[in-house]
Homo-oligomer: A and B are copies of this chain.
Amino acid sequence: MLLGLGVVYDFPKYSIFQRGLIQVLNIKVEKAKELKQKPDFNNLGFGTDFTDHMFMMNYTEGQGWHDPRIVPYGPITLDPSAMVLHYAQEMFEGMKAYKTEDGRALLFRPEKNIQRTNVTNDRLCIPKINEEDMLQAIKALVSVEKDWIPTASGTSLYIRPFIFATDPFLGVRASATYLFMIILSPVGAYYKGGINPVKIWVETEYVRAVKGGVGYAKTGGNYAASIKAQMKAKERGYAQVLWLDGVERKYVEEVGTMNVFFKIDGEVITPALEGSILPGITRNSVIELLHSWGISVTERKLSIDEIYEAAEKGTLEEAYGTGTAAVISPIGQLNYNGKIITINDGKIGELSQRIYDTVTGIQTGAAEDSFNWTVEVE
């Protein structure tokens, strides 16, 4: 309920960036005495290595967000009754910093992650964060850890801002205290040696989210709830699940932790944002990119039956997930109730490849950024 405009499932239209209200944090920096041995940048995984420093800021009711600081990366201390451990009043974001050929550090549309933070915060009754403050915090930390941004093709520095409730209290209500943190992790290329379309399990038993719930927000609980279906798909030899809506159980929503696009008979279709789907920043970028190429994207309900009929008629041309981790993840095969269809002969589609090349080109500074999507960290 940002700005009293009703529930916002997509990014808010107005934000502090447009309004020019700028507040400047006074970030205290305490440098680590000893720096870690960096992992082999040619052999990085995802989310296992962390940099030398982290950002922290506290919230206290009546006082607001306070004590922004960059400190050596290390353990945090919580009371066992801290609300986050019981009621999961917690949110996170995920974004990346890329290094250009000439050594500059680029963020990709960070204002979108920051706006989405406040959409999530609003849904979970977590106090809003000043958008400029959050951008400054991200920039300051990435700047301190610039040497941690790997340079090989496809690699990046993953940025994880997150907030959680810290009141030592067992009643169910919004916490009066929170911790906002940012940690960084150098991550390897999602695709090692060519993009491989994946096999996807259409999930008919478990549901990710439903309108009226928290599906459009980046809450921790959404991910805990998704693990079971993901394991089920994996056990059956599928890379991920395609989620169907929780009401009619027939409209496609997301694929794993990505938004999903289908190209049917020349029309690019992605599910409309109606409350159960996370408004992905990659999704938004792909839509804008396609528009700029003169290709229109329809945001609407898309049933699994329509997809299967298109496959039968031979008009299902491409399908792919979109997200920060992979940018584009082509779908090579779907299994819906035992009926298997193969898309584009299990190969990446032409449009998928073009989107992938363009977005990653912009992110790494290799292609022209005509959208002004990148933000340099000094």
Contacts and interface: CB of A to CB of B under 8 A. Distances in A.
Interface of A: 7, 46-48, 50, 54, 73-81, 84-90, 92, 123-125, 158, 160, 162, 164, 168-174, 181, 183, 185, 205-214, 219-228, 230-231, 246-247, 249, 257
Contacts of A79: 75-76
A230 B174 CA distance: 10
B220 A125 contact: no
Contacts of A74: 80
A81 B89 CA distance: 16
Contacts of A92: 86
Nearest to A123: B228
A228 B78 contact: no
A125 B227 contact: yes
Contacts of A181: 80
6 contacts: A46-B171, A47-B81, A88-B224, A90-B224, A125-B227, A209-B213
Contacts of A50: 80-81, 168
A302 to B, nearest CB: 19
A216 B4 CA distance: 33
A225 B247 contact: no
B213 A225 contact: yes
Contact of A224 (B76, B77, B158, B220): B220
Nearest to A79: B75
A246 B337 CA distance: 24
B221 A220 contact: yes
B78 A73 contact: no
B54 A88 contact: no
A224 B228 contact: no
A88 B158 CA distance: 20
Contact of A88 (B171, B183, B221): B221
